[in-house]
Amino acid sequence: MLSSSHRVAVVLPLVSLVSLLAACGGGGGEQPAATPASITAVEPPGGTLSAVVGSPVAVRVRVADAQGNALRGVPVSWSTFAGGVSATSSTTDVGGVATTTWTLGPAAGTQSLSATAGSAPSLTFTATATADRAATVTIARDTTIALVPGARVRFTATVRDRYGNPASAIVRWSTSDVNVASIDSVGNFQAFNAGAVSVIAVADTARARSPP
């Protein structure tokens, strides 16, 4: 038969094991996710860009906590009043980066896109949207005029892109009959002889012709 001192030696380890399990219990829940504290521009650097109206632009941001650590799985919302985005919400990857494609609106000038994530201060991207290539050219003097030989007159033209924005383009001038009249590179027209002649203006692929 075992002595009472031996019985105590067998029971105590069991009591200690139960105490150890009790001390470790209740800790299986997940730690709360870190709170987004900052959003910074990754692409384009600095959050500013210049692009042609209507063109797509890749935009990327990095979301971090208060210590600057990248946060994964954070939803980022995108909003713009000009153009549109490929995704109004995207989630950060392992590097804390979220991406969307911003298609600029049709109006030339300043456009903006905002990114928000949780309670972090929002980030605004600014784009300088420039006019597209010339799509139309309009001659200011678009009616028939009568000139005597030797007379001079100045023609001007307005060039616009496909959205109607004033476009920067070189206008090339010519006349339909150089024996009747000529026109120089800046639109100065001179009549030589009697006859009907048209003035032609070309800007990029756009073309206009005045009535003779």
129, 131, 166 from 140: Cα distances, Å: 27, 21, 14
pLDDT tens figures, 60-93: 999 999 999 999 999 999 999 889 999 999 999 9
Give the confidence band of 211 by pLDDT, cuts at 50, 70, 90.
confident
What average pLDDT does this structure show over 154-170? 97
What average pLDDT does this structure show over 99-103? 99
- CA–CA gap between residue 124 and residue 160 (Å, rounded): 29
Tokens of 135: 């799509």
pLDDT score, position 175: 96
What average pLDDT does this structure show over 179-206? 95
Give the confidence band of 118 by pLDDT, cuts at 50, 70, 90.
very high
What average pLDDT does this structure show over 7-21? 41
pLDDT tens figures, 20-42: 333 344 444 333 468 999 999 99
Instruction: Compute the mean pLDDT over every residue in the chain, rounded to the nearest whole number.
Output: 87
For the cut 60, the answer to whether the pLDDT of residue 106 exceeds it is: yes
- pLDDT-wise least confident of 16-20, 50-54, 140-144, 148-152: 16-20
Length of the chain: 212
- Domains defined along the chain, listed by start: 38-130 (2.60.40.10), 136-209 (2.60.40.1080)
pLDDT score, position 3: 46
- pLDDT-wise least confident of 23-37, 45-59, 102-116, 161-175: 23-37
pLDDT score, position 33: 67
- CA–CA gap between residue 212 and residue 194 (Å, rounded): 12
